[in-house]
Amino acid sequence: NCYYGDPERGEKKAFAEFKEKVKNEAHFEPFLPISFGGTSFIYLKKALMGKEIL
């Protein structure tokens, strides 16, 4: 995290912009922290949320 967690810069800003762009079709659930500077997310397609997929 090069910008000390500033949501208006770097990866945080880019991810927020991406989430806004796909908000009608995707949900990102926080999953696990990555080392000292990141978080992994689970991508969930909204059309399939709450439905059996297998």
Cα 53 from chain centroid?
21
Q: Is residue 26 part of a domain?
A: yes
Residue numbers of the domain that contains 22? 10-48
Q: How is 1-54 classified by DSSP, letter by letter? A: -TTTT-TTSHHHHHHHHHHHHTTTTEEEEEEEEETTTEEEEEEEEGGGTTS---
The domain total for the chain is 1
Q: Is residue 3 part of a domain?
A: no
Structure tokens belonging to residue 13: 């800003």
CA separation for the pair 28, 38 (Å, rounded): 14
Q: Is residue 43 part of a domain?
A: yes
Q: pLDDT higher for 5 or 17? A: 17
pLDDT tens, position by position, 6-46:
999 998 899 999 999 999 999 999 999 988 778 899 999 99
Q: Is residue 2 part of a domain?
A: no
Q: Is residue 4 part of a domain?
A: no
pTM of the full structure: 0.78
